[in-house]
Chains A and B, each alone.
Chain A
Amino acid sequence: MSTQVREKQPLWRQLFTSQIGKKLLTGLTGLGLTLFVIVHMAGNLSYFAGNEAYNAYAHKLLSLGPLLYIAELGLLAFFVFHIVLGVNIYLGKRKAREQGYKRYKTAGGQSKQSLSSRSMIVTGVILGVFLVLHLVSFKFGAYYEAAESIDGKPVRDLARLLNEKFQSPLYAFGYSGVMVLLALHLRHGIWSAFQSLGATNPRLTPLIYTLGALVGLLIAVGFFILPLWIFFTGGNA
């Protein structure tokens, strides 16, 4: 007697439509994005070495040319996949429980349900919207030319743009607020990604769970320290 043999699905379908494949991709893209924000944050922090250092860092990135475009394209793809899957998982879960509970309460104990885990879609969507605004205000924002030049080429004065923008409380606090939401997203996100990749076990999990929160927090602090600094001190001269 043979057991029922199902048709083997093509790899791409398993990756994109199976419940495991989807999480695998969300996790991979999520971790990819986390790496990206860490690098981004480190770049931001060069501001504290002075406007020139910051502008030089930005210039260096821009001068990568096609390499940068490829990286940006990759990044865009990560965002798109991450967002599409995140939204898909959220919609799926709504369908999986059409009638909700009158009362609902977590059991506590081993549960890792938290404000963070329950608000992934909210923090995620806000991060997405922020991303667009962020690109509009900075990447595609006002172009100032810096006094200095590197290798004879003109340099964009991004530091000035920062100094200007973050004088506004809306920008400074809005940006910082969103970074708090990023921390919230990563509080659950980082450990979750490891679990999604199957890279956990009962001994590792508590460690990853704690480190995840810590990394999330550090990233957020690393980001919002800049606008707040500029807002309260007026920024680098």
Chain B
Amino acid sequence: MKLDAKEPAGPLEQKWDRYLKDLKLVSPNNKRKHHVIVVGTGLAGASAAATLAELGYHISAFCIQDSARRAHSIAAQGGINAAKNYPGDGDSVWRLFYDTIKGGDYRSRESNVYRLAQNSNNIIDQCVAQGVPFAREYGGYLANRSFGGAQVSRTFYARGQTGQQLLLGAYSALSRQVSAGNIDMYARREMLDLVVVDGKARGIITRNLVTGELERYAADAVLLCTGGYGNVYFLSTNAKNSNVTAAWRCYKRGAFFANGCFTQIHPTCIPVHGDYQSKLTLMSESLRNDGRVWVPKNPEDSRPPQQIPEEDRDYYLERKYPSFGNLVPRDVASRNAKYVTDEGRGVGATGLSVYLDFRDSIKRLGRDVISQRYGNLFEMYERITDDNPYQVPMRIYPAVHYTMGGTWVDYNLMTTVPGLFCLGEANFSDHGANRLGASALMQGLSDGYFVIPYTMGQYIAGESFQAVDTEHDAFKEAENASRERLSKLLSINGNKTVLQFHKELGQFMWDYVGMSRNSEGLKKAISGISALKESFWNDVRVPGSNDTLNKSLEFAGRVADFLELGEVMARDALEREESCGGHFREEYQTPEGEALRNDDDFAYVAAWEHQESGPAVLHKEKLAFENVKLTQRSYK
């Protein structure tokens, strides 16, 4: 099968507008007859469900949490980008597009990213109209800040709770449609399988997480908005319920999974403090605007940080990257933290952290200014670590944060299964090999508010739909498969808990498919994970039963899928014999230790196709760059 991205013809700037002009429309009366399933109510899912319902489609929306409002998007702190150029510092759609393509290390599709930049401005308008209380200046106009290495101020924010406010905005739009009767909201449901009829996605199987019942839902299209798979590393900044299960079951039904190895390790997280640790907490990257990253020059230096004089400190980011300094992109900052800790210069009890020091900015700007900018982050840090960052430098370390890879989609956000679309972090589309700060929220909302309403309409208008009801054999088959899997999990009754397996998997992933990778390690990971999977299915212990709320059973199913995903990720990383963005292969680096891309051989999207028996098969979507020149990223 040849992957067809279905990019519209024409110059970059006109592709989306032309697409909209030529769009096939669904008449209002017909929309009502079309039933659409939206799985996930994060930024992508909630915005899509609300907008499609406004247009007149009949929507069923699903989420794992007890309320749509609790999706993982709620946790995003820093902000959302848009090319408004309100500060007048030279921003434009083109520049946002360019920064995003470059930031992604030239592994994303030009057309998708350009559309994203175009939509960015509409998002801000829409959110303000919903009542999202973005930060403002005294004049009453919206405030911007620069974020994540951008050289313009284009990030809109709502204190340190931008994701929360954007999600509550989308959730309010969703609630309005629920009350209007256009959306049936199913909370505490987990999608366990995709139902494919005549080659098209026509429904899903869910488990009611309260009663354990398996339920069937039929529709004309299915939207997968289920978020990222960072929890494959066990420890990550993702919420505990974030998972790959829905995407993985779709993969097994024919949806290709792309660029799995492109994961983002965020440089500023609170370090691990014990083996009972259940998740990692992100400290907003905005801290790097005023905090200076350093370690002692001497590995043996065990003095408390305040007593280490200037000349014995190594501000390694400022030293190595004079023009970007502490604001280098995430992948660069993370990798350098790894280097210095590998050299034995890490700090803290575990030696696995570096300092982020506000001493100088407190001196320069005063404690009040710093507290205004970061007060809530400092508080959060102190609550977790019991250290006061006004007095001692913060200790930070990289942690898994975001997954650029995901289900492969074309320009229409449609997967390789017709009628199955994928939005938000769950798809692979816009961030290439590295995502810039404040661009995931933008992508989720662009997909949901401004892309899918058109592209899905195009699909619906172009197809003729035979009625399918939930008594169809495909539904029975899928439901039985899910039921068997659940009873299998409950029947093993082995000696190890789900959590133990998850931690072991996480260790493999972090050690070998983490911040830097090599062929030997990746091979070790592949065989290790495969053995772990074997052991899981023989020795896992899942307590309780299927006919009640049973979180152990939920997590067991998700870890089982992570075990399969981990293997595919390692293979993807092994196959990609270059370094780019978050994917750093030790064999491929410049003399200075920077990522060395190989554009001739690897400027493609790696999309994996599941095989019933035997290993997954790789398909390549060549990336053509007609508008930007591929350069080596340099932040020196």
Contacts and interface: CB of A to CB of B under 8 A. Distances in A.
Nearest to A4: B179
Interface string B173-208: 000110110100000000000000000000000000
Nearest to B178: A4
Question: Chain A contact residues: over half helix, strand or loop, or mixed?
Answer: loop
B539 interface: no
A2 interface: yes
Contacts of B179: 3-4
Contacts, number: 12
Contacts of A147: none
B314 interface: no
Give the residue among A1, A3, A4 with the most B Cβ atoms within 10 A.
Answer: A1
A25 to B, nearest CB: 30
A215 B12 CA distance: 74
A3 B54 CA distance: 11
B22 to A, nearest CB: 27
B417 to A, nearest CB: 30
Interface residues of B, number: 7
A200 to B, nearest CB: 23
A22 B46 CA distance: 37
A73 B288 CA distance: 71
B343 to A, nearest CB: 47
Nearest to A2: B180
A2 B182 CA distance: 11
A212 B54 CA distance: 51
Contacts of B182: 1
A2 B179 CA distance: 10
Contacts of B177: 1
A45 to B, nearest CB: 53
A1 B54 CA distance: 7
Interface string A209-235: 000000000000000000000000000
Interface string A1-12: 111100000000
Contacts of A4: 179-180
A4 B176 CA distance: 8
A2 B176 CA distance: 9
B157 to A, nearest CB: 25
A109 to B, nearest CB: 16
A20 B363 CA distance: 51
Interface in B260-308: none
Interface in B402-440: none
A4 B182 CA distance: 12
B593 to A, nearest CB: 52
Interface string B546-557: 000000000000
A42 to B, nearest CB: 50
A2 B53 CA distance: 12
Nearest to B177: A1
A5 to B, nearest CB: 10
A4 B180 CA distance: 6
A1 B182 CA distance: 9
Contacts of A2: 180
Given A2-B180, A3-B176, 6 more contacts: A1-B53, A1-B177, A1-B182, A3-B179, A3-B180, A4-B180
Interface of A: 1-4
5 contacts: A1-B53, A1-B54, A1-B177, A1-B180, A2-B180
User: Which 4 pairs show the lowest CB-CB distances between chains A and B?
Assistant: A4-B179, A1-B180, A1-B54, A3-B176
